[in-house]
Amino acid sequence: MPVSHDTLFRALADPTRRALFERLCRKGEQTVGTLTARAGISQPAVSKHLAVLKQAGLVRDRHEGRQTHYSAQLRALAPLIDWTSQMAGFWQSRFDDLEDLLKRMDQ
Amino acid sequence: MNETSTETRAVVVEREIPFPPEKIWRALTQPHLIEEWLMKNDFKPVVDHRFNLRGDWGAVDCQVLAVDPNKTLSYTWAALGLESVVTWTLTPTPTGTHLRMEQSGFRPDQEQAYQGAKYGWQRFFANLEQVLARTD
């Protein structure tokens, strides 16, 4: 059953969840304990956010002993992403900054 | 070769800039200036020179491919698994310069790769917030 855009948007709308998700993107698989240590909120709160991310298909959990490991499932973002248009957006904003710089530069 | 060209995609951004090519060239090739509009770097305008661009989200590995002062600059751009080539072309105009950036070499199967997601992160979330503001 594919996850709806709404579910994805809502999962990512919360800054704390987004920070958790971005951390998993950057660092790879992490335990709830490790994520909690960096998140500045309680472990139950982290677990609740992870459950929302999981429901949206953005993370996967893996149980090992008493630990639960979470990893980012970036393919879940695929419906939202058009790579070339993202890259074009990146360069458009670089061009803006380049023009600003040129105005400030001496001849 | 033909097969390759049909299987890759390019991003092109062009703009008319009211400054001469020489000035833009400096901004494209001097590390302290590059840092101001792109990223921290150890660029040198020397063919085969390897350098990094460092953003807060990670680094881009680059190697200079071509340097034709005030006209063309080309380097490879490898970030988070995506390999591409960035080519700058400066063409003088009566009022300044036509500046063209082409980034090419993406394969269609990379388009939705997670590397792309990571790459466009900041902007992606900025867009997302706008969408959210509209959908509520």
C-alpha dihedral over B68, B73, B74, B79, to 10 degrees?
Answer: 150
Show which of residues 33-52 on chain A sit within 8 Å of chain B, judged by CB atoms.
Answer: none
CB atoms closer than 10 angstroms to residue A39:
17
- The verdict on B107 touching A (C-beta cutoff 8 Å) is no
Q: Chain A closest CA to B38's CA: distance in Å? A: 6
Are B112 and A97 a contacting pair at CB < 8 A? no
Give B9-134's CATH code, choosing from 1.50.10.10, 3.30.530.20, 3.40.50.80, 3.40.50.12780: 3.30.530.20
Taking a C-beta distance cutoff of 8 angstroms, is the pair A30, A23 a contact?
A: yes
- The pLDDT value recorded for residue B55 is 80
Are B125 and A98 a contacting pair at CB < 8 A? no
CB atoms closer than 10 angstroms to residue B116:
26
Nearest to B15 among A83, A89, A95 (CB): A95
Q: Tell me the domain boundaries of chain B.
A: 9-134
pTM equals 0.57
Residue B17 dihedral angles phi and psi, to the nearest 5°: -120, 130
Task: Going residue by residue through chain A, which has 107 residues, state the pLDDT in tens, using 9 for 90 and above.
Answer: 456 667 887 888 888 998 999 889 888 899 999 999 988 899 999 999 999 999 999 999 999 998 999 999 877 776 666 666 777 888 988 999 999 999 999 76
Are A98 and B27 a contacting pair at CB < 8 A? yes
Q: Tell me which chain A residue has its CA closest to the CA of residue B12.
A: A88
pLDDT in tens, B53-88: 998 767 889 999 999 999 999 999 887 556 789 999
| Range in A4-8, B4-8, B44-48 the model is least confident about | B4-8
pLDDT in tens, B83-134: 789 999 999 999 999 999 998 876 555 544 444 444 444 454 444 444 444 4
Q: Which residue has the tokens 């036509």?
A: B98
Any long-range contacts for B124-132 (C-beta under 8 Å, 24+ apart)? Answer: B124/A80, B124/A81, B124/A86, B125/A12, B125/A18, B127/A89, B128/A9, B128/A12, B128/A13, B128/A80, B129/A13, B131/A9, B132/A9, B132/A13
Top pLDDT among B9 and B126 is at B9
3-state secondary structure of A57: coil
